[in-house]
Amino acid sequence: MKNLFSGVRGSLKKLFVVVVAAAGMTVAAPAVPAFAINAVSCTSDEFAWIRFGDTGDNRWCYANSGVAYVEGYGVRSFHSGNNKVTFDYTIIENGYRHSLILDKGQEHTLTFGLRAIVHTIQIW
């Protein structure tokens, strides 16, 4: 009888240690922010956007913080809207890869007729 209870008691101790360790890891883990960037209708200049071509309203707009993986070909200008934004892109004409950071309310247009392929857009 004594051996039976000592085996059960040892198993309960191990189970208790595992439960306490799991609870401690859950409490100690930092909260991870939700990344909810999404494409939106271009109804406001508060949104981050990329524009294709020199004229017209051929834009892709984005809202909320996070990262969007895009393959936007022929981009000519970038706009941060009411955000801090990082645009990662490659110049089509020469293959150079760039990372452009724009603070709130900034815009950047490629010069000399250059066009870009935008790979990612990160809104901070």
Give 75-85 pLDDT, tens digit per residue.
999 999 999 99
Residues 3 and 42 in one domain: no
- Under the banding of pLDDT at 50, 70 and 90, the label for residue 53 is confident
* pTM above threshold 0.75: no
Does residue 56 sit in the same domain as residue 19?
A: no
In this structure, are 48 and 99 located in the same domain?
yes
Residue 86 has pLDDT above 70, yes or no: yes
CATH number reported for the structural domain that contains residue 105 in this entry: 2.60.20.30
The span from the CA of 90 to the CA of 103, in Å, is: 20
Looking at the fold, whether 12 and 26 belong to one and the same domain comes out as: yes
Structural domain for 49, as ranges: 38-123
Q: What angle do CA 18, 24, 26 make, to 5 degrees?
A: 105
Specify whether 48 is located in the same domain as 6. Answer: no
Residues 4 and 23 in one domain: yes
49 and 108 in a single domain? The answer is yes
State whether 54 and 109 are in the same domain: yes
Mean pLDDT (whole number) for 1-10: 54
Structural domain count, the chain: 2
Residue 30, burial from CB neighbour count under 10 angstroms (0-12, 13-18, 19+): exposed
Question: Is 20 found in the same domain as 48?
Answer: no
Q: Is 86 within 8 Å of 42 (Cβ atoms)?
A: no
User: What's the pLDDT tens digit per position in 31-44?
Assistant: 444 458 999 999 99
Measured CA to CA, the distance from residue 34 to residue 78 in angstroms comes to 25
Most confident of 16-20, 28-32, 65-69: 65-69
